[in-house]
Structures are given as structure tokens and as C-alpha cells.
Amino acid sequence: MKIAVAKGDGIGPEIMDAVLGIFKAANVGLEYEFVDMGKWVFDKGYSNGMTPEAQQTIETLGILFKGPMETPKGKGVKSVNVTARKTWNTYANKRVFQTLHGVDTVFSKAGIPIDITVVRENIEDTYGGIEHMLTHDVALSRRFITRPGSMQVIKYAFEMARKKNAKRITCGHKANIMKITDGLFLECFHEVAKEYPEIKSDDVIVDDLCMKLVTRPDLFDVVVLTNLQGDIVSDLCAGLVGGLGFAPSANIGDHICIFEAVHGTAPDIAGKNIANPTALLLSGLAMLRHLGLMESAATVENALLYTLEKGVRTGDFGDRSKPALNTTEFSNAIVANFGKLPEQGAKPTWPNMPITPTTFKLEKNPLIMSKEMEEETIVGVDMFIESAEQPGEVAEKCLKHTLDLFKLVTISNRGTQVWPKGSIFTNLVNQYRCRFESIGDAPLSQIDIIELYKRLGQDFKICSTELLNMWGDKKAYSLAQGQ
């Protein structure tokens, strides 16, 4: 089977060469087609960080094994790593964190074993990167959480948990504050959990989750989170097992999958042949198992575990009284230990499965959409306006334009209500949210909203608008703080 390989930037080429060398020594049955991605591709004028030929190759082969990549700073371009994950809808980011004997941590020294799998939603959230300056002082980032996207990643997490015989799956969230967005993600979690009664499922507020992870990480098994929270929590978990040098990553989609290390390009040590290839090697092992190369993966992983157990190390970890090996020497040590089993945590050797390459030829973009269960009505609008006036003065101008259809319900500033009641001690910025609701919750049309916009625009610059929707009798919008 042929896969696409992008070596990456910084230390990427040297650790990728090390890993592919280990795979060659293990007679892994893969062929590689190298593709052009990364910083130097940005520098050549490709704004997405990859050449059209690279995109075509990856979409044809369906598997990308990639080294760490740098996004140029200050040039207004998006991260090639995020672009790749989103372009190919690799909706589940799976990161496995396990105690590695020979990699000392406070938990390994205390005899507390760690085996945590973090599944991070990989497409949505603030990683949409949809941002605007509403005024010269106020920036807005739109956070998208969708029901279909949440269902995709949560179903993957439960299926993966079932296959690994997990006893517990936990949803980390902030639904106590972000009641609509995180609330939707949590709602999807509990909905899917009903289909897996054999797995204990629970949810934890994300700040409490972080505290529990650093005090009793052995209590957790599988954790699923939204994108930004998952990014932060997964790095926290990397710290529990020795750092990002031991943090693999698999980006799973229905058609294309990407396997990469979590860590960055480490330009300060690039070209010195001293980087630790373990994280990329572990990512490669996840790729081999994804492809059904079980025996090859077990052979390499048992050799890696044996090597670490014997105290063999690169300069970033291990017993400082023992000499550190460079990248090449460390890789050669792993190869020399093929066929040996670690005393603890040996991986079972199952036979390789037949590889059947699958090529997807799509005629159009897949549309993922759930069924609308209740009738939708528009019952108001939030108008985000620019003003340096006091709340009472803003309200007085707004009340002139209600058109006998609307009532001005609340005015908030940075999410805190400042009219009709509030506190003189609330600091203000020059952007308000003015909420207009229909009288008696009567349905409104978009034409009604546009007419209000036109009238309100006589007195204010309107920065943004959001419709207030209802499905059945359920309000689909949050209250202001203090409303």
C-alpha cells in the first residue's frame, strides 16, 4: 500500500527519516509518496501550505503521515496543520497517553499507572478562525459547535472505547457557562451514551477535569472534548507521561486520516540530529494499526518499550547520569531490540491483516445535517452596535425604532446587562448588544429584522446581528449576565 508522507519543517525531516528507517528494518509493507507541505511551501506563495499536487496525492491515497510543520508568523496565513485537518474533515483527534517505563514522572515514581485516551473534536469551535474587529477596541471570534459534528466525534469516541474495552468515558465541557454551545456538545454526548450501556459514561466541567487529571489521572480512561478544550487538556496529559516528546496523534476522518506528532518543529535543535523521534514513531504505530499491520506495529512498539525500559535515551529525558544518544543512535538501538519484550506493558502480537486500499471518489461535498424536529420561528434579534454613550442614552435612541413590532428587552456590554438595570461599577467598552424581542413572542420575518436594522442604522453603526430563534417552545439563545 502506498501512503503520502510529508517530512515537515525544523526537526521534521530528521525524525521522519529515523521512523521510516525503523519501519524499513521491520519490513513494514508500505510504499511512500513524498509530498510538498510546510513553511517553505508557504514561502513559495501557496497560501494553504501545500502544493496542488500534494493535495491531489493525499486525496487519492487517503493516508498522510506528516512531520511537524511551521506556519509563517505575521503573514496572515492559516496553520497548515489546522487547514489539513479541516479540509479533509478529520473530525476526531485521538491522542493516547500511557506510562512508559524508563520515562520517569512523578506518577511513575509513585507507582500510579496512566492510560488515558483523549478524543478531541477536530473541525469546529474557535478553530474556525472566523474573527472580526467590531470596533477599534472590540474583537469577535465566532465559535461554531454543530450537532452533526459533535455526533461524529462522540460516536467515534464511544466506538473506539468499546474496541479497547474501556470501562469509562468522560465528557469534558464548560456547559455551566456556555450553555448553548457546550450545552449542545454535552447533549449529544448523553444521547450517544444511551447506545453504549456497557460503558460507564459521565461528564466533568473542564476546569474540574484538569484538577482531577493532575491529582488522580489513573481514574480516567477515555475523555472526549470540544476542540480548544481538547487541545489544552491533551497537552496537560502529555505532561503527565513525560512531555510532548511522547505524545502521538491520529486525525481520523471517514475518507482521509492524518498521523502526526503533537509537538512542534523545535527550530533551535533542527539539523543537529539530537531530536527525540518517539512521538512521531508512536504516531506511526497508530497508523500501522489503523491499516491492519498489527504484527509490524507490535514488533516495533515492543522494541521501543524494551529500549526505554533499559534506560536508553535522547537528551530530553531519562537518567542524566547515562549518556544521551543522538536521533540516529536511538533509532538504531530500537532496531537492535527487535524481537525483545519489555518486562512491563508488552503488546500482544497479532497477525497482520490484509491491506485493501480504498479510493474514495466523491461527486460533491458531503452534507451532514440532522432532522429538524420542531418548527423554527424568529422571535427577535440581537443588534451589536458601536457607541461611546451611556446605556440610558443608547436605550433612548433604540426605543425610537421599535416599529410597534419589537420591545427592547435588554442592553448588555461584554455580556453583562447594563440596561434596564445594572451597576454603575460595570466598566464599558464602545460596543453594546441591544436585544429586541417581538411583542408577545409573535413570529417575525427577516424583512421585519431588516427594517429595524435600517431604522437603527440612522443612529448607530451596526457591527453585527444575530437572529433570536425558537424551536417549538425552546429558546435558542442565552440570557445576558445579570438579566
Residue 338 has pLDDT above 90, yes or no: yes
Per-residue confidence at 374, pLDDT binned at 50, 70, 90? Answer: confident
* Spatial separation of the C-alpha atoms in residues 386 and 133, rounded to whole Å: 11
pLDDT at position 71: 77
Which stretches of 63-115 are DSSP H helices? 80-87, 106-109
Average pLDDT of the chain to the nearest whole number: 94
CATH number of the domain located at residue range(s) 2-336 in this protein: 3.40.718.10
Q: What is the pLDDT of residues 164-195, one digit of tens each?
A: 999 999 999 999 999 999 999 999 999 999 99
Q: What is the pLDDT of residues 390-408, one digit of tens each?
A: 999 999 999 999 988 999 9
* Spatial separation of the C-alpha atoms in residues 10 and 426, rounded to whole Å: 48
The amino acid occupying position 243 is G
Q: pTM of the prediction? A: 0.92
- ∠ at Cα 87 (270, 191), nearest 5°? 115
* Spatial separation of the C-alpha atoms in residues 9 and 227, rounded to whole Å: 24
Work out the percent of the chain whose per-residue pLDDT is above 90: 82
Sign of CA dihedral 369, 371, 373, 376: positive
Per-residue confidence at 359, pLDDT binned at 50, 70, 90? Answer: low
Mean pLDDT score, 202-231: 97
Work out the percent of the chain whose per-residue pLDDT is above 70: 98
CATH number of the domain located at residue range(s) 376-475 in this protein: 3.30.70.1570
- Cα dihedral: 8, 9, 10, 16 (round 10): 10
pLDDT at position 115: 96
Closest CA to 115 of 367, 451, 344: 344
Per-residue confidence at 253, pLDDT binned at 50, 70, 90? Answer: very high
* Spatial separation of the C-alpha atoms in residues 56 and 64, rounded to whole Å: 12
Q: What is the pLDDT of residues 85-123, one digit of tens each?
A: 999 999 999 999 999 999 999 999 999 999 999 999 999
pLDDT at position 74: 60
| Strands of 2-6's sheet in order across | 31-34, 2-6, 63-66, 257-261, 248-252, 92-98, 115-121, 222-225, 168-173, 200-205
Per-domain boundaries in the chain: 2-336, 376-475
Beta partners for 428?
none
Rounded to 5 degrees, φ, ψ at 403 are 60, 20
Mean pLDDT score, 203-213: 98
* Spatial separation of the C-alpha atoms in residues 185 and 174, rounded to whole Å: 10
pLDDT at position 390: 97
Q: What is the pLDDT of residues 264-290, one digit of tens each?
A: 999 999 999 999 999 999 999 999 999
